[in-house]
Each structure stands twice: as structure tokens, then as C-alpha cells.
Amino acid sequence: MTARHLIAPPLTALGAAGVAACLFSAFTGMRDVMVTDGGFCASGGPYVIAHQCTGADMRLLMVSILGILVSAGCYLAGTRMLGGWTGTAGLLVWAALFGTLGWNFIDLGLHPPAGMNGAGGWLFSGVTFWLMAAGGLIPVIVSAAGWLRRGGRPQPSLTAAAQPTVWAQFPGMGGGRSGMEGGQSGMEGGRFGMGGNQFGMGGGQFGGAPPNPGGAPKRLKLPQPEDSP
């Protein structure tokens, strides 16, 4: 067992636990700001601020933002070491983040704090966040369904292509005719070219057996002209 296999499982578990803890921190800090300050707070500056951010809310939100980045990096690195697809891990973190924050908007939009009216904007934000979460969750569900259909086997590579089949015929191997079988070109009774002359080798076959030398026509002897008297 290599060092990678020893480090990957605890690194993946630590990253997943860190993401969950930081999401809970962001959920708590965001909800406190929405309930106590109407969803808006600030601190510092020369102006009088109606809703001062508390130190606890600031710490919860800042730690959660930075912690999610670090924990997600550990989770993705551990997943990669284990041979998993980091895209699936990243989509899970995406869906968890926007799903959790979207629930805050929808829950407080349906049940606004006392003395607060017009929470329709929170409902709209919550639906938008959930749509963004669904954009990361749907590909994960499709990938998991494909993995179950394959019985846990890895997905075949998309770059693997079937080797092309090449048909070739070499001299001395009969069987393949050139052109249409039995087709005549030019004069009747003539093969490709002049009559009686066959294309390539014997039998009108491309790559067939060579013609019999004994069947070649003899040289034509013409009579010599007689001397004039």
C-alpha cells in the first residue's frame, strides 16, 4: 500500500467534515443577520449605521467562507487520490452550499421574523439558489444512475475508438474483380480496354493469377514484297 492510499481516506473525510462544519457556520451566521438585522448589517465608517454587525456574526461568516475553500480543496484532493472524479466532488460541494443558503431564504421568506413584511425578495432569492443547487445535483444523480447500471464498473473512455478494418488484396490472390463482375467496356466481347485484352491479370481479376505465357499470340509474319523487274 502506497503513501497515497494511506493519506487519501483521512484527507477526504477531513475535507468532507470541514465542508459540513463551515456550511453550518455560514447557515447560522446568515440566519442570525436575517432575523436580527433584517438581512443587512455593517460596521465601521464615518456614517451612523442602523444595524451594526456583531462580532459573532462576522466571525461565523468569515470563518465559513475561508473554511469552505480550504476544506473543499482537501476533499477534492482526497477524492482524486482515491481515483474518483473530482468533478462529482466539486458538484456536491456546489449543491450543498447553494442548497443550504437557499433554505435560509425560503424558510424565512415563508415565516418572516416578527415585525418584518415584504419577504418576497427572500423567496425569489431562495428559489434562485435552489435552481443553482439543482444545476450541480442533477449531473451527480445522472452519474450515480449510470454507475449503478454498469454494476460499479468504471465508465469506458470516450477517446477509445474502434480500430478501422482495412481490406487489402495482394498479387496472386484471386477473387476480387475490378469494377462490375462480368461487365464489358468498349466493344462487345472485350474486357476493359480492347477486345480480348483483359485488365491486369488473368480472368479479369484485379490481383489474380498471371496469364499463361503459353497462351500468348505468336508473332505475325508478313510476306516480303517481291523485287520489281
Residues in the chain: 229
pLDDT of residue 132: 95
Beta carbons of 35 and 108 less than 8 angstroms apart: yes
Helix H, strand E, coil C: the string for 58-84 is HHHHHHHHHHHHHHHHHHHHHHHHCCC
Beta bridge partners of 42: 52
pLDDT of residue 85: 79
Low-confidence ranges of the chain (pLDDT < 50): 161, 174-208, 229
pTM for the full model? Answer: 0.59
pLDDT of residue 102: 93
Show Cβ contacts of residue 175 under 8 Å, excluding neighbours closer than 6 positions: 169, 205, 208
pLDDT of residue 73: 92
Residue owning grid cell 442570525: 32
Q: In this structure, what C-alpha cell is assigned to residue 147?
A: 454507475
What confidence tens digit (pLDDT) does each residue in 187-204 have? 444 444 444 444 444 444
- Distance in angstroms (rounded) separating the CA atoms of residues 34 and 57: 11
pLDDT of residue 155: 64
Q: How far is CA 183 from the centre of its chain?
A: 51
pLDDT of residue 165: 61
Cα dihedral 99, 102, 104, 107, rounded to 10, equals -100
